[in-house]
Amino acid sequence: MKSTSLLQKHPILRLLLPLMLGIVLADCFYQELANYQDFLLIITLTSFFLLLLFLWKIKGCFPFFLPLIMMGIGMLLTGKSLSKSFFVYPEGNAVYRVLITEQPEEKERSILCKSLVLERADTIQKGVRDKVFLLYLAKDSASFALGKGDSLLIYASLAPVLNSGIPDAFDYPRYLRRKGICGSAYIAADHWQLTGHDEALTNDRLTKTRNYLKERYERLGFKGDELAILTALTIGDKEELSEEIQEIYSVSGASHILAISGLHIGLLYAVLWILLSPMRKRKYLKFMSVLLIVSTLWLFAALTGFPASVVRSVTMFSLIALSSLTQERPHTLNTLASAAFVMLLFQPLWLFEIGFQMSFAAVVAIVTLNPFLSSLWPTRNKFLCRFRDLLSVSISAQIGVAPIVAFYFHRFSIYFIFSNLWAIPMVTLIMYIALLMLVFSPFYTIQQWIALLENKLIHWQNIGLEYISQLPHASIDRVWITIGEIVGFYMVIWLFYRFFQRRTAKNTLWALGSMCLLLFAHLGLSINNRMSSCIVFYNVRGCPTVHLISDTGNSWISTTDSLPNMKTLINQANPYWMHHKLEIPKMLTCENQMVDYHGKRICFINDARWRWKKSDTKLSVDYLYITSGYRGTLAELEELFDINEVVIDASLSAFYTNRLDTECNERHIPIHHLIDEGILCIPI
């Protein structure tokens, strides 16, 4: 199929593709757009109207310039969205008036409050207004009592969230920027005061409805994993899901079941379509039935909090419902592209959400690949036909999302077919019985019997998926692929799809050649990324460690006798390890604070044990690793050590860092600041 015929059959792609390109470009150059937002707006609008006038006079030029116009619109909308997180940070502490916009969340050492900074309260020049920040309050009885809608006066220093600098680590600042969050601040126990409460944030009907449904489930006897699964499937609340149940669903390949998307919306759409079918038989009631379907779908989307996957599904099913009012039915791919186009015009940053990408990739794969896969098993038996359709849909969706899952989650589930064959029928029953349970709310006794059945179904679903997740080689973990490989994977799928449409020698050569090229490219990257023997220091606050790597791929993490925050280290450094084909390193404890590896000696300095001591013979140290806990000077350490280089950990305070920096410069000793370099890799 030629590209021109594809665009002619799906004309909305002429608008969608350049719009997506503009969004990506704007995200890459967000700083420039934020600084010149108003100027760009004036220039873009002026150029747009001048171009329209010009094209109105010269026929045939509009299709050529249309992609440029859409790309400009995409950049403009994205720049406007990203400008919400652009903020000039004042120096030092100040008093701010803030409003907690979401329910506070307990962290390991603090209480996290997502808050709207309303104004600066200690100066006439406000300087900040209506900017979202993450506030970390010290744990005490007062901070535990805070809730959504509380107004506070805080005394804090607002600061941007910074990356650790470790290659391949999750880009948390960019993630926050796309969410419209400007930065964060830590607030001591005596540096904030409760000033009031905004009832509008806690008394909205949707929040009350979500809370009512959750409380209703608890009164009906749902608890633990069963309650967590039910709230995730019906109201999109996944906060109660335990790490264990999430791991079970992830390994078995059924994680998509937990996120409300096309499957769940499709079930709701089917129920509404059947219930309102009598109205559609009458012309004057047909429009009313479609309006009720669309309104109910969007009400459900509001109830779940408008996640991208739900909005995409509701938008697409709304377009399908509206298309029933016309004689011609739009092509499904065109409907899907229209849904994506409308969503990105409304919120362009949805393009970067994993749920958005996986949802569209799955539906596109189902629409294109499912008919071909179904044709491979022709049957007239109704039961076998249903089984074949479920199997082909599952395989199609998995092919569509496999590269995205491997890229973000570094995992591929082997038994995804069995998981879907079990989970999809079970979820269908669970969703319909949940709806039936709510219908019988006035009849509490009947509702209890239905709830008992619902509880058993969810329990059986979890047991089945747990069994699948425990099968040998249930998943391939620690997979590492690049964005280029994702593009190559989809290109291979498209070329094989074209081959099965038209089995010619040319198409065969293109399909097999592209697959071999992709495999050789992945193999070459894997070999090139393997690390040789080296020593690595990481910028992970509160976790001073040294990573010792051998040529064989084995590695060890060496630390002092005080246990570091290994969970934080693994979360931040694990992508770097996967990229370079390293397994999770083994732990080594150096009680004497000395590490010798391949002739290189590293000494940990994290307390006062080396201060005020002298030696006639100095110990040669290649790398002096100074971390939080040391309060002395470099001159004191030179009484014991012959220092070649110094490594400064990010946990050391600015005062001691500056003092050590000055001392090293005076002595011409090389110094490495992990907070600036992110990672220090020393080949051996």
Residue 364 has pLDDT above 90, yes or no: no
How confident is the model over 659-674, as pLDDT tens digits? 999 999 999 999 999 9
pLDDT band with cut points at 50, 70 and 90 for residue 126: low
**Higher per-residue confidence, 323 vs 118:** 118
Amino acid at 373: L
Residue 508 has pLDDT above 60, yes or no: yes
* Residue 680 to residues 242, 466, 545, 675, Cα–Cα distance (Å): 36, 41, 12, 10
- Bridge partners of 150? 197
Q: Give residues with Cβ within 8 angstroms of 560, minimum separation 6.
A: 544, 589, 590, 591, 593, 604, 606
CA 274 to chain centre: 36
The pLDDT value recorded for residue 216 is 86
How confident is the model over 370-389, as pLDDT tens digits? 888 888 888 778 778 877 87
The pLDDT value recorded for residue 2 is 44
Element (H, E) at 661: helix 654-667
b/e string for 567-589 if b means 16 or more Cβ within 10 A?
eebeebbbbbbbbbebeebeeee
Residue 476 has pLDDT above 60, yes or no: yes
- The token duo for 208 is 């009350």
Residue 654 has pLDDT above 70, yes or no: yes
- The token duo for 155 is 């005394």
Distance CA 543, CA 585 (A): 15
Q: For residue 470, give the DSSP letter.
A: T
Helix/strand number for the chain, H first, E second:
26, 19
The torsion of the CA quartet 253, 259, 262, 268, rounded to 10 degrees, works out to 120
Dihedral pair phi/psi, residue 100, rounded to 5°: -75, 120
Q: Residue for token digits 């860092």?
A: 657
- Complete DSSP assignment for 499-511: HHHS--HHHHHHH
Characterize the bridge pairing of strands 555-559 and 150-156: unpaired
b/e string for 36-54 if b means 16 or more Cβ within 10 A?
eeeebeeebeeeeeebeee
CA-closest candidate to residue 151, choices 198, 199, 111:
198
Weakest-pLDDT range from 255-264, 351-360, 374-383, 598-607 = 255-264
Distance CA 582, CA 647 (A): 24
CA 112 to chain centre: 19
- Proportion of the chain above pLDDT 70, given as a percent: 90
How confident is the model over 182-220, as pLDDT tens digits? 999 999 988 999 998 887 776 667 777 778 888 888 888
Q: Residue for token digits 């600015």?
A: 654
**Cα-only R_g, the chain:** 29
- What does the pLDDT average to over 382-403? 81
- The token duo for 69 is 């116009």
Q: Give residues with Cβ within 8 angstroms of 5, minimum separation 6.
A: none
Go through the chain and tell me how many residues it has.
Answer: 684
pLDDT band with cut points at 50, 70 and 90 for residue 62: low
